[in-house]
Amino acid sequence: MTQRVELATVMDRLAVDELITDYAVAVDDGDWAAYRRLFAPDGRADYRSAGGVEGDAVQVAAWLAESLSLFSMRQHLIVNRRVTFGTLDHDTGDTARVQADYVNPMRFVQDGDGSSAPDFVCGGRYAFGLLRTDDGWRLREVVVQEKWRRLPGPRPAPVIN
């Protein structure tokens, strides 16, 4: 590889990383206009494994706004990002796939500000499909695969043999 190609790859990786971070921040802050802007015109998201919906960015943002209003605090942590460029046949380098794990602690709204509410925590894996557009990298696909969740309430006593 030439230095120019290597620099372009590094710049793309940084832009993709920024897009994934912007996604997490938009969801956590409830900035649904910013969330919708992250998507390509034909972009879709699928939250069905977490009990949600599948649809275009407008439909999913509306569902997220309603369902996440139950939580006074959200802190989306997206880690272990694996980025692959040009995954489609005959691609010219304008697509990318990102597989990343997430942990998402949230606090239920209770008595106004939620400061005494119990935590709800879930985790899993994202599969992002990205497309380079005239406006930069955008989400073409977001698929959530929730793997676990911890709900508030008493935990069962450990079994001692």
pLDDT single digits (tens) 84-116: 998 555 556 799 999 999 999 998 887 555 455
- DSSP, collapsed to helix, strand or coil, labels residue 101 as strand
Which one-letter amino acid corresponds to residue 134?
A: D
The per-residue pLDDT for range 19-67, each reduced to its tens digit, is 999 999 999 999 999 999 999 999 999 999 999 999 999 999 999 999 9
Q: What is the pLDDT of residue 161?
A: 62
First to last CA, the chain: 60
Domains in the chain: ranges and CATH: 3-150 (3.10.450.50)
The full DSSP string for 24-46 is: HHHHHHT-HHHHHHTEEEEEEEE
Q: How far apart are CA 156 and CA 154, in angstroms?
A: 7
The per-residue pLDDT for range 7-23, each reduced to its tens digit, is 888 899 999 999 999 99
